């Protein structure tokens, strides 16, 4: 059985696929696979191991024709689940294995924004540190600050436990309960997004929501880029609706809105949430096991469709 892997993955995942006797087509390269290359290379494949940057729709599924789509991610918003169900295509993801790494990066962004780490680094490198001053680059105390978590799943819960160690008060808004989104936005000193991208959460953070936040508040997004309306966020940062933002994900990756690039009060990262050696190895191995199980007509560990 032939399997297409759209980008290089950790060798641990490849070893599992090779040991299972699958015929692998591995597309290597730094950039996401193009639409044309995806359609050409998936022809004749029963399995696909894809990245969150790949759009997997009915056309791609039919080009195989595919039996299994194994996502190398937790989110599956890039995969047309309805088209998969109509065709009997199994879809899987990799939850759990990246929880701790993503929670760590969320706290890294929070600290970098709250204590203005990048601004301090830039000041030093530009030769602007002439003398210590009591008013220089003052930031937010985490101790006693209120963290509002939007989406209290695995990652949101892991962020909450870390924040509480810093002495933060944690509130949340999610499908499982918590406070209303409006109350969270009005009262939180930091808003951290951990909800999935769905039609209901696309541009969840738009102008009304960003204007509701405190002018001293920070926005952190390590979930999905399209949850935030990026042009509006750029305005919010430049016009002082909020104090800063830490963003790891973007709506049209790898493109970043130019006004965000120009914002000195934004910390921007290239989707590094799960980018640790252990997390990426475990993601590759889980994506591989899901694929192997489904192609062998066994129920995969993490099936979403």
| pLDDT tens digits in sequence order for the chain, 305 residues long | 999 999 999 999 999 999 999 999 999 877 899 999 999 999 999 999 999 999 999 999 999 999 999 999 999 999 999 999 999 999 999 999 999 999 999 999 999 999 999 999 999 999 999 999 999 999 999 999 999 999 999 999 999 999 999 999 999 999 989 999 999 999 999 999 999 999 999 999 999 999 999 999 999 999 999 999 999 999 999 999 999 999 999 999 999 999 999 999 999 999 999 999 999 999 999 999 999 999 999 999 999 99
Phi, psi (deg, nearest 5) at residue 144: 85, -5
Residue 126 buriedness (CB in 10 A; 0-12 / 13-18 / 19+): exposed
* Catalytic residue selected from 115, 202, 253, 281: 253
Q: Which residue stretches of the chain are H helix? A: 11-19, 35-42, 58-63, 81-87, 99-114, 117-125, 154-165, 181-187, 207-212, 230-239, 258-261, 277-295
- Fold equal for 2-95+277-295 and 99-268: yes
Q: CA-to-CA distance for 31 and 38, rounded, in angstroms?
A: 13
- Residue owning tokens 């993601």: 283
Q: CA-to-CA distance for 190 and 219, rounded, in angstroms?
A: 6
* Catalytic residue selected from 224, 257, 280, 282: 224
* Catalytic residue selected from 202, 235, 271, 281: 271
| DSSP-assigned beta bridge partners for residue 105 | none
Is 271 one of the catalytic residues?
yes
Q: Return the CATH class of domain 2-95+277-295.
A: alpha beta
Q: What is the DSSP letter of 107?
A: H
Is 211 one of the catalytic residues?
no
Write down the architecture of domain 99-268 according to CATH.
Answer: 3-Layer(aba) Sandwich (3.40)
Is 28 one of the catalytic residues?
no
For residue 1, what are its two tokens? 């059985």
């Amino acid at each position: 059985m032939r399997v297409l892997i759209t980008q290089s993955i950790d060798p641990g995942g490849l070893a599992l696929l090779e040991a299972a006797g699958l015929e692998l087509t591995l597309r290597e390269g730094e950039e996401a696979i193009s639409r044309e290359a995806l359609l050409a290379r998936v022809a004749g494949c029963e399995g696909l191991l894809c990245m969150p940057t790949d759009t997997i729709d009915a056309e791609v599924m039919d080009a195989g024709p595919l039996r299994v789509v194994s996502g190398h991610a937790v989110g599956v918003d890039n995969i047309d689940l309805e088209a998969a169900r109509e065709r009997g295509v199994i879809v899987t993801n990799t939850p759990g294995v990246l929880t701790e790494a993503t929670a760590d990066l969320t706290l890294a962004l929070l600290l970098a924004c709250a204590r203005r780490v990048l601004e301090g680094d830039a000041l030093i490198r530009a030769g602007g540190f002439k003398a210590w001053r009591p008013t220089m680059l003052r930031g937010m105390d985490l101790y006693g600050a209120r963290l509002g978590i939007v989406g209290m799943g695995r990652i949101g819960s892991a962020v909450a436990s870390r924040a509480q160690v810093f002495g933060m008060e944690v509130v949340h808004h999610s499908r499982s309960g918590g406070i209303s989104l409006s109350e969270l936005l009005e009262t939180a000193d930091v808003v951290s997004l951990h909800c999935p991208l769905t039609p209901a959460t696309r541009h969840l953070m738009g102008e009304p929501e960003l204007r509701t936040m405190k002018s001293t508040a920070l926005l952190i997004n390590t979930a999905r880029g399209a949850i935030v309306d990026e042009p509006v966020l750029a305005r919010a940062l430049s016009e002082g609706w909020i104090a800063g933002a830490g963003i790891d994900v973007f709506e049209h990756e790898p493109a970043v809105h130019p006004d965000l690039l120009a914002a000195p009060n934004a910390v921007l990262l290239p989707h590094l949430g799960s980018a640790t050696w252990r997390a990426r190895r475990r993601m590759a191995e889980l994506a591989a096991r899901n694929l192997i199980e489904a192609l062998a007509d066994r129920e995969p560990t993490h099936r979403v469709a």
